[in-house]
Structure 1
Amino acid sequence: MKPKFFLIEMYPTVSFKEEEALRRLLDVLESHESFKPTHWGNSETIKVEYNREELIQKVIEEGNVSEIYLHRNKSVSYTFNVKVNSSPRSFLDMDFSKSIPEKLWANFFTLSDQLAEIAKPRFGLAHPFWPAAHPCNTERERVHKWMNICAQPVPVRFLSNGPLGLGMRTYIGSEILDLVDAKSMQEIPAFLSTLEWGGVKIDLVEDPLDVNLDMLLDRWLAAMDHLKKANFIATPNFEENRRRISFSPSPGWKRYLTK
């Protein structure tokens, strides 16, 4: 079974009202032949043919754009959304609504790394989603659902609860790294890389192109158990019928919110 869809989500620390950052962002998307935008808009409902210079003019010179939406309606399709102003609520979302051909998986993770280098996220991830069972009838199915929710750190969950968990590839910026002991992070049972912009990258598997769901779930559980002991991730609360999962912030995130 192959992933059903792919997702990149980040909380940028840079402003895309700055022309250099905006141009670099568009450069990255345009540099991948399979990921070039075909349409853009300044709201969810507006789609016009993609025009790089028109977009930059609207954002930088006219200054009346708060969000950018980019779309691609070719065989590899996506919707990309980013808030252009820098704030704790700044959010970048790139949703590939259907599976990406296996030959482009490496490009997906390269794209994610390039976006992270520009956005310098407080927190972010790139993750492939395998179809999950509904309702969950086994413990394994429950874990799969939990992982899928954690890999979608949308603002309504993340801002109040902090990091819910990890994706296949996770980015953590310096201010959130401070919530966990450095030794605990170094000892995580995953593949940890220090990034030039000051954050870290965590890969659950050494080669994201050679993975199946069972392997990913095993690696995810091991890393999550480690971060739970370090009081880094939000506490999940499972309803008895296993249909819903809610979260409570970790002690570290509660302290972070009071800064």
Structure 2
Amino acid sequence: MKKKLAVLMLVSVLGLVIALGCVTNKSPTKEDVIRAIGDVEKYEFQSKLKDSGSEMIRNFTSYIHGGFYYSREEAYWEIEIHEGKTVRYINETILGNLLYYSYALKAGDRVVEDSQLTETIQEYFDSIKESTNITSPEELKWMILKGSDPMKNPLYFIKRLLENGNITKIEKTGEKYLLEFIFEIQEKHRTFSDELHLTTKGSGKLLIENNLPIEAKISAIRIAQTNENHLTIRGYNLTVSFSYEYKRPEWVRRAIER
């Protein structure tokens, strides 16, 4: 009897191990990744965004290092924008209700513009409220922290693309998963007396670990059209790597202490 009971217990344990293995090794779904991104408390990223320009705007390439710590209501961005022979250097941070911004334009070996600004969210809101649909400083703060701008918050940008996209392929690669998807986003904005229709569409590849992207490649085009049928088409390619940690840069500490 004891021998039979031991065998039954062994079978049960093996069954539990197999079942748990099936759960932990299952392929991530679109919903799994979206949910995991929404639960992220902090992260940092390194990205490169290459914009193909348009008939009115020249090509540029942006290199961005940034990070977010949501419970602290904190984020920072270090941006280099290369366009022709000029480079723009931008540092920005938000900490609660405080904003800091510095800007330098370098042409060749010479700095031709240099400025910095510290202001509150309320002051920033007061300066833009007549030209935006944002209704309060608090809404503005969380738009900065959790907006879906591909340059400023690539993780939430990917979340939005997935919410408006479909998975085309998933394959296991070691302990990670390679996820491929396509997307299309339709938007409508009021600009003074005109209406702007925006379409963003393209494809992406994500390397997923624990349901979160650790690397991403996105190719997209944005089509902007007004009621007067003025059409602008721009393309861009985004590559980005993620780490789910946060370390405040020294320049942010100095900006806060000003």
Shorter-chain TM-score bucket reads under 0.3
The TM-score normalised by the length of structure 2 is: 0.23
**Greater strand share, 1 or 2?**
2
What is the TM-score when the length of structure 1 is the normalising length? Answer: 0.23
Which structure: greater helix fraction? 1
Larger Rg: 2
